[in-house]
Amino acid sequence: MNYRIIFYIIGWVLNIEAAFMLLPFFTGIVYQEPALWSFMISGIICLAIGVSLTFRKPRRQYFYVKEGYVTVALSWVFLSIMGSLPFLLSGSIAHPIDALFETVSGFTTTGASILPAVEDLPKCILLWRSFTHWIGGMGVLVFLLSLLKLAGGSHMNLMKAESPGPSVSKLLPKVHSTAKILYGIYIVMTIAEFIVLLVSGMPVFDALTTSFGTAGTGGFGIKNDSIASYSPLIQIEVTIFMILFGVNFNFYFLLLLRKWKQAFSNEEVCCYFAVIGAAILLISWDIRGLYGTFPIALRESAFQVGSIITTTGFATCDFNQWPEISRTILVMLMFVGACAGSTGGGIKVSRFIILIKSTGKELSSYLHPRQVKSIRMDGKSIDHEVVRNINVFMIVYLLIFAVSLLVLACDGTDLITNFTAVAATFNNIGPGLELVGPSANFGLFSNPAKLMLIFDMLAGRLEIFPLLLLFVPDIWRKF
């Protein structure tokens, strides 16, 4: 295990986090808020630790998959701990576990909050909450890869560990260039949404925080009613951008290269839009009686479907009050999630496609035992290793889900609340149903339950295995 390179990269992560804290600091200056000093102090602490870890460059810069997973997991843990300091130092959140919950929820783009109200918070704190979504959306290590040069395949080992989805591919021969392209697309789309929202009449601060939350598919709002108080036009625009940020970013790269056929023949993207379209129509028909006219029901349905499947978590209404069919569809979408290679969470559409094809292959083998049949996606054969990884992922996913349910049950809360709370945090969505619905928060849970949900949020964002490896004794041995 190359410990020096691990802590070297963690140091750079903390340096970058310190730089990111300048934005809320300057926001505090603009609005003349005392809370700005919490960002200065937190930034200095981050920088002090980061510089001490990066003062000497390691002689051995090459590292393997295990170092990649450990580096990513530890980076997110340290990132979250340091990111919680502004909440504590400003007094916005008094309890350390609550502050950590809010910060992890931000960086993992979950959007679940322990705060009963947010409108009274300082503007710099509100910006930091939304900005953590943007930082965590594409991944802080992907950002680091676009700046830092490492030896050999080290870049790819980091990207595989942090990027969501069953497999990660390079857009260009060099991962360093791939990271730049991904962040370039990410920034351009964020700026595009910001401009669109400004033109539609949204105030500058609101447009900036909403763009950060949408781009990272997070969901922290700056108003107690999330997006409900904004105009229907703005709600429609946010709906569109939420869905766009849930698309695999490889799709946009192919569009830039004008490879139209290859882009639009992507099975995952086509299935993603098909699921969204079907869910919108079914829910719109089911809730039409609640909103008077079908167009309004269609708008409300589209927003919530887009918010849930992309795991953004914004809300325009309390969908906890919707009929059972609609609520059931939304819960199912929580598990489906967005596309692999997007900023969205969930199990991912591509995994479900491969699982369905694997099931079909197994059924076919019962009828034709001697038949040799491969699983194909986008015209390419899927490696057995990918299928095996997905099967293991689903088993571990269900085990963690079950343990989380048991831990939350100790609080005495009802099953629907516990089930959707775990689903909302593990899939990085935000709101659930009943006591954790869109008009409620996660402050009702005990500290042990919150720690369990913090683990779920990190495990969901990091695709489980990088975080679990921290608990394997062999990973820490020097070979």
**Could you tell me if 430 and 315 are in contact, meaning their C-beta atoms sit under 8 angstroms apart?**
no
Whole-model pTM: value is 0.92
pLDDT in tens, 347-361: 899 889 989 988 888
pLDDT in tens, 334-345: 999 888 888 888
Using DSSP, state whether 377 is helix, strand or coil: strand
Q: Write down the mean pLDDT value for the chain.
A: 88
pLDDT in tens, 411-449: 999 999 999 999 999 999 988 899 998 888 999 999 999
Using DSSP, state whether 381 is helix, strand or coil: strand
Report, as an integer, the average pLDDT of 203-230.
Answer: 92
pLDDT in tens, 80-139: 999 999 999 999 999 999 999 999 999 999 989 999 989 999 999 999 999 999 998 887
Residue 149 has what pLDDT?
A: 63
User: Is residue 175's pLDDT more than 80?
Assistant: no
Residue 259 has what pLDDT?
A: 85
User: Is residue 374's pLDDT more than 90?
Assistant: no
Report, as an integer, the average pLDDT of 218-239.
Answer: 92
Provide the H-helix boundaries in 84-174: 85-90, 96-107, 123-138, 140-145, 154-162
User: φ and ψ at 165, to 5 degrees?
Assistant: 130, 165
Bridge partners (DSSP) of residue 380 are 377
User: Is residue 41's pLDDT more than 90?
Assistant: yes
pLDDT in tens, 268-296: 999 999 999 999 999 999 999 898 889 99
Report, as an integer, the average pLDDT of 217-221.
Answer: 88
CA angle 472/452/143 to nearest 5° reads 70
Report, as an integer, the average pLDDT of 204-217.
Answer: 94
Provide the H-helix boundaries in 200-319: 204-215, 232-245, 249-256, 260-264, 267-287, 294-309
Question: SS3 letters for 366-429?
Answer: HHCCCCCCCCEECCEECCHHHHHHHHHHHHHHHHHHHHHHHHHHCCCCCHHHHHHHHHHHHCCC
User: Is residue 402's pLDDT more than 60?
Assistant: yes
Structural tokens at position 51:
């510089």
User: Is residue 34's pLDDT more than 60?
Assistant: yes
Residue 173 has what pLDDT?
A: 45
pLDDT in tens, 43-89: 999 999 999 998 887 776 666 777 778 888 899 999 999 999 999 99
Report, as an integer, the average pLDDT of 25-45.
Answer: 95
Residue 57 has what pLDDT?
A: 78
At 167, is the pLDDT very low, low, confident or very high (cuts 50, 70, 90)? low
Report, as an integer, the average pLDDT of 302-324.
Answer: 92
Question: Residue 102 and residue 115: Cα distance in Å, rounded?
Answer: 8
The Cα diameter of the chain in Å comes to 74
User: Is residue 198's pLDDT more than 50?
Assistant: yes
